[in-house]
């Protein structure tokens, strides 16, 4: 008999299994499914990035093992972009490491810093990898509730003193998945002060900083004085350049923290295919090419979907960034029940908020990464449902 490890056995049940099964059953019956559940950009990767990959892939020198920490040229491009975009100075050799997508780096970070029994502060609702990676490392996730009355920012003052003193890491993520909430430098300064006082390493997941609307420009955590002394920031080319399948990202910040994450990676993976790194250099060097148009597309979709929510009478958190809309389910329904009803009666797939943590109950997340015509169809279907 094959026995799973205790860490696998202890994982919570897969919340979406029942929904996935129903989705497949409906597809088999010929239902026209509109999937708003997955945050995967439908806009193609810009052509100049694809061309850079083609050129680099034809060079046999790029067919060999890449370096663990990533090509220096790519890390220099990252440092140059951070200086241009955020005014943050980074040493590309000591303060930047290349990742196989930011998810990989986030998942490996607890292995570098967390010993069995250590506490890690995680946002709730939040990207599930924060808690799962903590558990895999033997740590204990401690939820920081993200509540509507706090604009979905964690209340650091509400964290008990004994938890503060035991915590090793804190994960934060702004602009936020799933709530689409944003943070300003004032909040980041609070985080730096908290971290400095209690010796907590801050890990800021900044994957959505380049998808913002209404003139809002999301800051980097590292823009705040003292941030580099206490933290690191994860970024990805996935959302900014529509490169989700390419798997390339980076972590930047505190040199000691970057070195520790790099040490984990040297023992686990063999780096990013160099041709993809060359494509990443092309993307970062021509960062603004097409960016405003991509933002315009997502902003128009946000407006379309939120107008539909207004007409239906569902309350939502107005998104200033990301390509998500976080809205409240009708009173008296759970997130799971609403999600199931929406699928059964309209063939629309959304993500139940409790899939991101218990404080996500009462909400669902929609991803606006489908074309305008299909999104408009989803809105029309939503208007017909009886709550």
Instruction: Count Cβ atoms below 10 Å from residue 164 Cβ, excluding itself.
Output: 18
Tell me how many degrees the CA angle 354-359-365 measures, rounded to the nearest 5: 45
Distances (CA, A) of 134 to 140, 192, 358: 6, 21, 17
216, 182 Cβ separation under 8 angstroms: yes
Using alpha carbons, select from 368, 263, 261 the residue that is nearest to residue 309.
Answer: 368
Return the H-helix or E-strand segment holding 253. strand 249-253
Residue pLDDT, tens place only, 309-345: 999 999 999 999 999 999 999 999 999 999 989 998 9
CATH of 47-285, one of 3.40.640.10, 3.20.20.10, 3.40.50.720, 3.30.1330.10: 3.40.640.10
Query: DSSP letters along 33-77, please?
Result: -EE-------SPPPHHHHHHHHHHHT-GGGGSPPPSS--HHHHHH
Low-confidence ranges of the chain (pLDDT < 50): none
* The predicted structure's pLDDT at residue 15: 56
Strands 351-352 and 363-367, sheet pairing: antiparallel
Residue pLDDT, tens place only, 164-222: 999 999 999 999 999 999 999 999 999 999 999 999 999 999 999 999 999 999 999 99
Q: Using CA atoms, how far apart are residues 113 and 129, in angstroms rounded to an integer?
A: 16
* The predicted structure's pLDDT at residue 13: 64
What are the structural domain ranges in the chain? 6-44+290-384, 47-285
330, 387 Cβ separation under 8 angstroms: yes
Buried b (16+ CB within 10 A) or exposed e, 62-77: beeebbbbbbeebbbb
Using alpha carbons, select from 123, 223, 115 the residue that is nearest to residue 171.
Answer: 123
Strands 249-253 and 231-236, sheet pairing: antiparallel
* The predicted structure's pLDDT at residue 9: 81
* The predicted structure's pLDDT at residue 14: 58
* The predicted structure's pLDDT at residue 170: 98
Q: What CATH number is given for 6-44+290-384 in this structure?
A: 3.90.1150.10
Using alpha carbons, select from 69, 46, 376 the residue that is nearest to residue 251.
Answer: 69
Residue with tokens 């996500």: 360
Measure the CA dihedral 80/82/88/93, to 10°.
-60
Tell me how many degrees the CA angle 280-284-289 measures, rounded to the nearest 5: 115
| Phi, psi dihedrals of residue 328, rounded to the nearest 5° | -85, 140
Using alpha carbons, select from 166, 173, 172 the residue that is nearest to residue 115.
Answer: 166
């Amino acid at each position: 008999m094959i026995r799973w490890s205790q860490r696998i056995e202890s994982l919570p049940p897969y919340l979406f299994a029942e929904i996935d099964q129903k989705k497949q059953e409906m597809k088999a019956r010929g239902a026209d499914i509109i999937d708003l559940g997955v945050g995967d950009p439908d806009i193609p990767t810009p052509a100049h990035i694809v061309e850079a990959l083609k050129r680099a892939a034809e060079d046999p020198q790029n067919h060999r093992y890449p370096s663990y920490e990533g090509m220096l040229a790519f890390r220099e491009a990252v440092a140059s972009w951070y200086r241009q975009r955020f005014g943050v100075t980074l040493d590309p050799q000591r303060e930047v490491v290349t990742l196989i997508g930011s998810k990989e780096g986030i998942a490996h970070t607890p292995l570098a810093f967390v010993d069995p029994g250590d506490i890690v502060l995680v946002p709730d609702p939040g990207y599930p990898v924060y808690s799962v990676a903590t558990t895999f490392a033997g740590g204990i996730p401690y939820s920081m509730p993200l509540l509507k009355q706090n604009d979905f920012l964690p209340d650091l003052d509400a964290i008990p003193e004994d938890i503060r003193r035991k915590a090793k890491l804190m994960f934060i993520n702004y602009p936020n998945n799933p709530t689409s909430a944003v943070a300003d430098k004032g909040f980041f300064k609070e985080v730096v002060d908290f971290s400095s006082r209690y010796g907590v390493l801050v890990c800021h997941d900044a994957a959505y900083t380049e998808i913002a609307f209404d003139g809002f420009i999301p800051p980097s955590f590292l823009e705040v004085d003292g941030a580099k002394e206490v933290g690191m920031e994860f970024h990805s080319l996935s959302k900014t350049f529509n490169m989700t399948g390419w798997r390339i990202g980076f972590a930047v910040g505190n040199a000691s923290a970057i070195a520790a994450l790099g040490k984990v990676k040297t023992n686990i993976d063999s780096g990013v295919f160099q041709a993809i790194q060359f494509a990443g250099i092309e993307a970062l060097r021509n960062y603004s090419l097409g960016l405003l148009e991509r933002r315009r597309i997502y902003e128009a979709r946000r407006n379309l979907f939120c107008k539909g929510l207004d007409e239906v009478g569902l309350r939502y958190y107005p998104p200033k960034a990301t390509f998500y809309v976080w809205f409240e389910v009708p009173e008296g329904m759970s997130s799971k029940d609403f999600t199931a009803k929406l699928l059964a009666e309209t063939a629309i797939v959304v993500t139940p908020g409790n899939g991101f943590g218990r404080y996500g109950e009462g909400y669902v997340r929609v991803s606006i990464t489908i074309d305008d015509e299909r999104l408009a169809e989803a809105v029309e279907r939503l208007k017909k449902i009886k709550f």
